[in-house]
Amino acid sequence: MEFLLEIMTEELPSSHVKSALAQLEEKFSEEMRNSGLETSELRAIGTCRRLVLVADLGERQPDQEEIVTGPPRTAGLAPDGSFTQAALGFARSQGISVDNLQVLTTARGEYLGFKRLKKGKSTPEILEEKLPALIAALSFPKTMRWSDKSFRFSRPIKGLLCLFGGQIVRVSLEGLVASSQTYGHFIHRPQELSVHSYQEYYQALKDNLVLVDPAERKEKILDGFQKKLSSLKAQVYPDDRLLERLLWNIECPLVIMGSFPESYLSLPLEVLSTAMREGQQLFSVVRGKKQLPYFLGIADAPADPKGYILAGNERVLKARLEDARFFWENDLKVSLAERADQLSAVIFQEKLGSYADKVARVEELVSYIADRLNLRNIKKDLLEAARLSKADLLTEMVREFPELQGKIGGIYAQRQGWSETASRAIYEHYLPVSWEDPIPDSTGGAILSLADKLDTIVGIIGTGYAISGSSDPYGLRRNALGVVRIILDKKFHLSLYRLVDKSISLLQKKLTLPAEQVKTACLELMAGRVRFIFEKRGYGYDLITAALAPGLDYLDFTEARIKALNSLKSSKNFEQFILMVKRVKNILKEAPKSRLDPARLSEKEEKELYSALNIIKKNAEEMMVRGDFAGAQKIIFRLQAPLNNFFDRVLVMAEDKKIRNNRLALLSQVQSLIDQLADYSQIVVTSENS
């Protein structure tokens, strides 16, 4: 039968709606499973004003057999098999005839008792019992109290609607009792609506200006965009985050399109779109990369009969653009270099000093990276960029629109005559801000971003901050992901180990933890991000573990290793080879360390293995230096034949200890060569179980 729950609230933040719906769906389905109620077609939908669950539920819990135990058998049955007083008393207390008692074997021993059918509860009973706690257990990033209640929720709860099979289920929570009533649009149709089914509920809301299904709202919005734009041959500047936010904030979407005076088009696109998005939540309209003097907005209203909504938005936007122009003109009056000189007064982080300190370190790192990558031609520009990179923190534009940091610095730098390379590097150096964000396009931007992020990671970790669970206030994971993505995607051949060392040495005096510990923690963080990226690229978990085992010093090599493994994994020798490697590893597990003495090798097969190993090793290592891991891996497969012969004909565990240790030493040389490529023993092969 149909179940419908609506929790009416004051306007929840849009991120809270989404998470609450996901939690509701999960917790409800779990609760019903635990209660033994059949659940199907469970859906969680809603808006910022209502969280809604719909499902088809069984009518009641199935009846369950219940075991009731009384006295132990020895106390309940006399030696002659007759019931004792204890048994008679127990039967009486349970209201059953003593003849129904039987001997039951339990975990604690044998008892007298009986089985009875426990009647399942009806679904409304279960809902009344479970829903209040389920609602109260929803978690939010921030909660509040209201009125004189101690109850906490994201925003105040206004009412509950709960129906099962068309009947009201009297769920009660904090003084509210569920009914069959809801309300239409809070501003435009606040009337009470009485409903008996989801279909009625959905339709009544729709008639009263609420589209309760987010998919429908989204369709209406996108459709509205298209209608407004078709005549203009223009596109909406994509902003999924804003769209997502508005999707939950609005019950009755109405797309409006307005314009602003063309004179504001002299402001950069970045400034225009930020001024529109922040505060007013408007979308920019572009043709290709060119900003047009139009905007799109989504109102929460059925119509704009007198044009007030559009005119109001236009008026406010104009004021904001006027402000932005004021900041733009004022900011340009002061040179970025002059602002950079004032950075010593701006704290980067309490223990790590000012932004001037940070910039000085970043300059050193940039210089180091440029040298390693042989980028002498742009080094001067990059140092300039590093020096100016944080100057825009002191501009009015960034004070007003913090998310423009970096970008606006780059734009100002270009306007004030710095080179294209330097300006671009500044512009891009916060990228990537998120996983979806691109990495810097220019080499300079990539290097500056890398240096800036590395300094933050090493500094924050080195002063004792550890990431735990969801707590990562300095965004270390995001920064580390940026570092890894940049090195990988830009194919920078850089030693990550030495880069971290360099950064540690620059921060030396400020760090509160020992250098070795800092380095290990930083590399561990990066290894986690490398894994994440490889997983996203579709590599198997076992291959990733295998390829990461030799370390992540040169990330381009780490990547080459996993690519090689991945391309070889379907070749016919692969499985055999893996099994062989596992065999070697097993034998060596408890082997003592000893030196190989070639002169002591006596059997033909061990001599052959030894000479094959030497040739293969020489070739493979040459290939690895060049980064040709696919080649190296193929060569190493050639160890298979001599290894096979060795295992077939030679007894590794020879009686003579010296011979035995020498053979183990030979195998351990084999292993150490293989280890440079991957920890093959991590790889799961199908034939293993057979």
Partner 1 sequence: MMSMQNLILALSRYWAGQGCYLAPTYDLEVGAGTMTPDTFFRVLGRKPWRVAYVQPSRRPTDGRYGENPHRVQKHFQFQVIVKPSPLNIQRIYLDSLVSLGINLSEHDLRFDEDDWESPTIGAWGVGWQVMLDGLEITQFTYFQQAGGLELFPVSVEITYGLERLEMFLEQKDNIYDLKWSDDVSYRDLRFREEKEFSIYNFEQADIAMLQSSFNGAEKEARRLIDQKLLLPAYDYCLKCSHLFNLLDARKAISVTERVKMIGQIRTLVNQIARLYADEEGEN
Q: Which of 215, 232, 319, 651 binds partner 1 (CB under 8 A)?
A: 319
Please give the C-alpha separations between residue 445 and each of 213, 373, 448, in angstroms, as whole numbers: 43, 14, 5
Nearest approach in angstroms of CB 270 to partner 1 is: 21
Q: Judged by CB under 8 A, does residue 156 bind partner 1?
A: yes
- Rounded to whole angstroms, the Cα distance separating 515 from 505 reads 8
- Rounded to whole angstroms, the Cα distance separating 172 from 162 reads 10
Cross-strand partners of 40: 56
- Rounded to whole angstroms, the Cα distance separating 344 from 353 reads 8
Q: Which of 219, 323, 338, 441 binds partner 1 (CB under 8 A)?
A: 323
* Contact criterion met (CB below 8 Å) for 445 and 453: no
User: Quick one: CA dihedral 245, 251, 257, 258, positive or negative?
Assistant: negative
Nearest approach in angstroms of CB 432 to partner 1 is: 26
Q: Judged by CB under 8 A, does residue 313 bind partner 1?
A: yes
- Rounded to whole angstroms, the Cα distance separating 332 from 392 reads 11
Amino acid identity of residue 511, one-letter, is L
- Rounded to whole angstroms, the Cα distance separating 527 from 333 reads 45
Q: Judged by CB under 8 A, does residue 14 bind partner 1?
A: yes
Nearest approach in angstroms of CB 8 to partner 1 is: 12
- Rounded to whole angstroms, the Cα distance separating 442 from 419 reads 13
Q: Judged by CB under 8 A, does residue 177 bind partner 1?
A: no
Which stretch, 81-89, 186-194, 469-477, 635-643, contacts partner 1 (CB under 8 A)?
186-194
Site string for partner 1, 327-366 (x = CB under 8 A): ------------------xxx-------------------
Which is nearer to partner 1, 330 or 672 (by Cβ)?
330
Which is nearer to partner 1, 136 or 345 (by Cβ)?
345
Q: Judged by CB under 8 A, does residue 466 bind partner 1?
A: no
Please give the C-alpha separations between residue 114 and each of 68, 73, 94, 274, 668, in angstroms, as whole numbers: 6, 12, 10, 73, 67
Closest among 31, 36, 29 to 121, alpha carbons compared: 36
* Contact criterion met (CB below 8 Å) for 195 and 204: yes
Q: Judged by CB under 8 A, does residue 13 bind partner 1?
A: yes
**Strand, helix or coil at 62?**
coil
Which stretch, 153-161, 196-204, 424-432, 549-557, contacts partner 1 (CB under 8 A)?
153-161
Q: Judged by CB under 8 A, does residue 10 bind partner 1?
A: yes
Q: Which of 158, 493, 510, 583 binds partner 1 (CB under 8 A)?
A: 158
Nearest approach in angstroms of CB 183 to partner 1 is: 11
Binding residues among 246-265 for partner 1 as defined by CB under 8 A: 249-250, 254
Nearest approach in angstroms of CB 539 to partner 1 is: 40
Q: Judged by CB under 8 A, does residue 142 bind partner 1?
A: yes
Which stretch, 56-64, 74-82, 218-226, 314-322, contacts partner 1 (CB under 8 A)?
314-322
Residue 365 φ then ψ, to 5°: -65, -40
* Contact criterion met (CB below 8 Å) for 682 and 549: yes
Nearest approach in angstroms of CB 162 to partner 1 is: 19
Torsion angle, alpha carbons of 295, 301, 305, 307, to 10: -30
* Contact criterion met (CB below 8 Å) for 400 and 439: no
Which stretch, 5-13, 164-172, 483-491, 605-613, contacts partner 1 (CB under 8 A)?
5-13
Which is nearer to partner 1, 278 or 605 (by Cβ)?
278
Which stretch, 67-75, 143-151, 533-541, 575-583, contacts partner 1 (CB under 8 A)?
143-151
The region that residue 267 occupies, defined by phi over 0 for left and psi between -120 and 50 for alpha, beta otherwise, is beta
- Rounded to whole angstroms, the Cα distance separating 270 from 275 reads 9
Residues found near partner 1 in the complex (CB under 8 A): 10-11, 13-14, 142, 144-148, 150, 155-156, 158, 186-188, 190, 249-250, 254, 279-282, 297, 299-301, 304-306, 308-309, 311-313, 315-319, 322-323, 326, 345-347
